[in-house]
Structure 1
Amino acid sequence: MPKLSAPARPFTVLLAIAATGLAALLIAASWIMRDQIYQTFLDPGVPFQTYEPPAAADYTDPDTWAVRPVLAALDEDEPAVFFVHPTLHTGGDHWNAALDRNSHRERLERLYLPNYAGPFAQAGAVFAPRYRHAALYAYMNNREDSLQARLLAYEDVRAAFRQFLADIGEDRPVVLVGIGQGGEHVTGLLLDEVSPDESLIARLVAAYIIEAPVAADLFDGALQDLPLCDAPEAFRCVVTYSAIQADETARIEAITERSTLWIDRGRLGQTPGRELACVNPLLWNLSEDYAPTRLHRGGAAAEGLELGERPSPLASQTSAQCQNGLLFVDQPRSRTLRRPSRLAEIRRVPPFNLFYADLEADVTRRAALLAETLAEERRWAPDLPEAEEVVVVPVRPVD
């Protein structure tokens, strides 16, 4: 008679079920923690203090600019647009991006120049420097290493801006545009380069800081001479907003609770407890009034267009309302204007411009208003004649 053994099948089935459950649990945990896991892979793994950054740019070299027009071909009164691109480098190998990385150049030219510099190209000549921008990783945490990487990037932008001013001369109107990380750097330029210079303020059409938080109290302090644009007819002022949908809770938290921004000249600080600035890009004022979709001139997904080629914006895609320093918008009807599902999407600039046509009309209007004002100011305040040299003659007493 054969020897009987204990049945193994039930145990094997239970083991398989447990293993399947554990795998499902790990997959679920990985999905929930995907951004944190992704962040770990992006860590350069070397302290910034011992990190050797890529070579710095020489902004007299045309190759250090993604776009640099020939000034001789421009009308002397045409505005010059200084455009600072968003983050292209994710991390994992460097804290800061090298200037010659082909993948970054391709993405800048294919996505961010047509979508975000495009609206401003209709009003003026765009200048866009390449710079050693900080990795996406540096915006996913507030480590001291991350802050140092961002400051290195800012110093590149500051050097490029000084070269830009030298190139365009002392009379041409100026527009500043910064998107994402570029918006943070433009805020620094307003603090360090623009606000102390009355002659530069006088020819500033506006500064546009998009998808980057800006501390509202700056405009009562260091930027009190550069107010927020509180009306469609204002100029020599600042437009800023960070667009958000009400159900994007992780993105709201990232902006309001886990971001760093300029709080004064030379000082970065944290966003918690700090009021943020918001200008509504449909109403062009500082109110918290609701702007309905009928006011939306149009968003665009302008991928692959040459700078200067105009897309066909899709109108009436979203309403807009500033609340607590954030711009709340609707999910657009067109899928081309919806955020993609990407890792760390809450920290990225989308590959489309939800307010393309609105920005285009706005900068054109403000540039025309500034041109009229400058012409009137020149009429009533003519240039002073050259100073005459005064020769000191000794006084001789008369006998």
Structure 2
Amino acid sequence: MKANPISIARWMMLAGAAGFLVLLALTSWALRDQIYQTFQDPGEPFQTYTPPRGANYASDEAWFARGTFAGADEPAVFFIHPTTYSGGSNWNAELDKERAVEAVTRTMLPNYAAPFANSGVLFAPKYRQAALYTFMNNREDSILARQFAYGDVERAFDAFLTQAGDERPILLAGVGQGGFHVLGLLIERVAPDPELRERLIAAYILESPVPLDLFNNVLADIPPCETPEDVRCVLAYSYARPGEEGRIRILTERSMTWTPRGGLDFVDGRGLLCVNPILSARTAEYASARLHRGGVAAEGLPPDSTPAPVPGQTGAQCGDGILFVEEPDYADLRRPNRLAEEYRVPPFNLFYEDLRLDAARRSLNLSTILQEERRWAPALDGIEEVEDAPVVPIPDRREFR
């Protein structure tokens, strides 16, 4: 029986179409981040862009959390949330953007702010965050959007300091984009101010690169947290699994952050700070999973709750500025498969309990140090040299007898 030429041709056309679709699907998957970026591009230069309306930080509506103090020495915690706005219509998110706000309140505060809220009164400002799109490229527009967001954070920090007062211990914490902004505050506001440096419990900069060259320069007075007992120091890490080459490349080469002069530059070649959160120390020593105090997937819980951590989920070791971790057994502590996941902060905190205990210890340490320091007599002013002592000699009484 002879084959029908028309049927063969139709079969070949269908096979070719199917092959094309498979090739198209594979290409789309390989270029998924680039395609995603295309849809998130605002399509307007930042220089001609009209940003959304900003916040009045004297108002409660400008804060996700704005606590009240019960005691004069109760620490104050300033927390900056990570990126929750993808992009599209704006370079910087509207303050009331529904999905972005919900991601902060339901996911980021319970997972990332809560460990620090256990050590003090929590302040978490709303701000016109730069879109995730701006961290997926290093265009001038994207850099300007990040710096614009920092302006909001700086104004919120001023309001925070006003409410905290002049003597209270303070703790700074930021995750992802929030870590970028906290690093900016350290450089421009905390490091030049001896009184703020004295009150600093620690600065926690998570999932955002911190170049080592800063500590030889503008952050010379706020060193890395070398040991678990240190205060007035910086605890920073960005973690990845050994096989996540794309994420490692983003963290160590393609990311941009602050320079000693206050501008932005690539992190490549600058070295990165890595403090192991399991060991609470800056060390290349391996911390086994049996030392891991626990991660938490706390979506939907209030920030003042204390969720049950899941311990023993990962070992961790610092290497080349990256915190290398092991894949957790607990499924809720594994990174989800989302578009641009390499640029995102995960919707869980792998080191929740480690950070909670670390912050509590450093807070207690600083409170003890401040109490002791404030008992000391104030420092003497510079000694004034006097060439001739202004002393009038007393006459010898015998001369008048």
> Taking structure 1 as the reference length, what is the TM-score of the superposition?
0.93
Please name the residue that 2:65 is paired with: 67
Residues of 1 paired with 2:102 and 2:237: CA distance? 27
Residues of 1 paired with 2:327 and 2:317: CA distance? 13
Per-residue deviation, 1:17: 1.0
Q: Does residue 1:33 correspond to 2:31, yes or no?
A: yes
The 1:369–1:291 alpha-carbon spacing in structure 2 relative to 1, beyond 3 Å, is same
Per-residue deviation, 1:6: 7.7
**Corresponding residue to 1:76 among 64, 72, 86:** 72
Computed over aligned residues only, the root mean square deviation of the Cα atoms, in angstroms, reads 1.5
Residues of 2 paired with 1:80 and 1:70: CA distance? 9
Amino acid at match of 1:174: I
Q: Does residue 1:338 correspond to 2:334, yes or no?
A: yes
Please name the residue that 2:164 is paired with: 168
Residues of 1 paired with 2:245 and 2:324: CA distance? 12
Residues of 2 paired with 1:40 and 1:255: CA distance? 22
Q: Does residue 1:124 correspond to 2:120, yes or no?
A: yes
Residues of 2 paired with 1:332 and 1:265: CA distance? 40
8 Å CA contact retained: 1:87, 1:348: yes
8 Å CA contact retained: 1:296, 1:319: yes
Residues of 2 paired with 1:213 and 1:5: CA distance? 65
Per-residue deviation, 1:18: 1.1
Per-residue deviation, 1:21: 0.7
Report the 3-state secondary structure (helix = DSSP H, G, I; strand = E; otherwise coil) of the residue aligned with 1:206.
strand
Residue deviations 1:329-365 (CA, integer Å, cap 9, x gap): 0010100100001000000000000000000000000
Per-residue deviation, 1:191: 0.2
Residues of 2 paired with 1:383 and 1:284: CA distance? 33
**Corresponding residue to 1:56 among 54, 60, 82:** 54
Per-residue deviation, 1:5: 12
Stretches of structure 2 lacking an aligned partner (at least 5 in a row): 381-401
Residue deviations 1:81-138 (CA, integer Å, cap 9, x gap): 0000000110000000111222222221110000001101111011000000000000
Please name the residue that 2:41 is paired with: 43
Stretches of structure 1 lacking an aligned partner (at least 5 in a row): 385-399
Per-residue deviation, 1:383: 9.9
Per-residue deviation, 1:254: 1.4
8 Å CA contact retained: 1:192, 1:265: no
Please name the residue that 1:310 is paired with: 306
8 Å CA contact retained: 2:68, 2:121: no
Q: Does residue 1:16 correspond to 2:14, yes or no?
A: yes
Per-residue deviation, 1:307: 1.4
Q: Does residue 1:368 correspond to 2:364, yes or no?
A: yes
Please name the residue that 2:395 is paired with: none
- Equivalenced residue count is 379
Please give the residue correspondences for 1:150-161 in structure 2 after superposition, counting only pairs within 5 Å.
Answer: 150-161=146-157
Residues of 1 paired with 2:133 and 2:202: CA distance? 30
Q: Does residue 1:284 correspond to 2:280, yes or no?
A: yes
Percent of residue pairs identical: 53
> Taking structure 2 as the reference length, what is the TM-score of the superposition?
0.92
Q: Does residue 1:225 correspond to 2:221, yes or no?
A: yes
The 1:168–1:6 alpha-carbon spacing in structure 2 relative to 1, beyond 3 Å, is closer
Per-residue deviation, 1:382: 5.8
Point out the more displaced range, 78-87 or 244-253. Answer: 244-253
8 Å CA contact retained: 1:68, 1:126: yes
8 Å CA contact retained: 2:207, 2:345: yes
Report the 3-state secondary structure (helix = DSSP H, G, I; strand = E; otherwise coil) of the residue aligned with 2:196.
helix
Amino acid at match of 2:16: A
Residue deviations 1:34-54 (CA, integer Å, cap 9, x gap): 111011100000000110001
**Corresponding residue to 1:246 among 239, 242, 248:** 242
Please name the residue that 1:255 is paired with: 251
Residue deviations 1:149-208 (CA, integer Å, cap 9, x gap): 000000100110011101110010000000000000000000000000001110100000
Residues of 2 paired with 1:68 and 1:306: CA distance? 14
Point out the more displaced range, 187-196 or 370-379. Answer: 370-379
